[in-house]
Amino acid sequence: MKTQALLYYIGAFIFAGLSVLTFLQLHVAKYQIEAGGFIIMAALIYYGMVTLFFKGRRKTFILANACLAILALCGIFFNSLLFGSH
């Protein structure tokens, strides 16, 4: 089995499991939609990054990873400014 196909199967297993857990554990439709949207966005990013790694250029993959890392760090440090605090 090719590595790319294996990573696709692993991703499908992980995101399907997250989806099942979301709908089993969350009972309010608003929260299910929010969690489902997050899982869909994460899955799209995952599959996009796997595809970019195998079919794109390595420099583009590293640049996309660096952008995601910077966005994640900004989300950590500026969370209260972006979403407010309680």
What does the pLDDT look like over 58-68, one tens digit per residue?
888 899 999 99
What would the mean pLDDT of 24-44 be, rounded to a whole number? 93
> From residue 53, how far is each of 6, 10, 43, 49, 73 by CA, in Å?
14, 16, 15, 6, 22
Q: What DSSP character marks residue 1? A: -
* CB-based contacts of 3, cutoff 8 Å, min separation 6: 54
Name the more confident of 47 and 78: 47
Instruction: Determine the pLDDT at residue 4.
Output: 93
pLDDT for 6 beyond 90: yes
What would the mean pLDDT of 2-12 be, rounded to a whole number? 94
User: Cα separation of 83 and 67, whole Å?
Assistant: 21
pLDDT for 86 beyond 70: no
Domain ranges (residues) in the chain: 1-55, 58-86
Mean pLDDT of the chain: 91
User: Cα separation of 18 and 61, whole Å?
Assistant: 25
pLDDT for 3 beyond 90: yes
User: Cα separation of 76 and 72, whole Å?
Assistant: 6
Neighbours of 80 (CB within 10 A): 9
pLDDT for 85 beyond 90: no
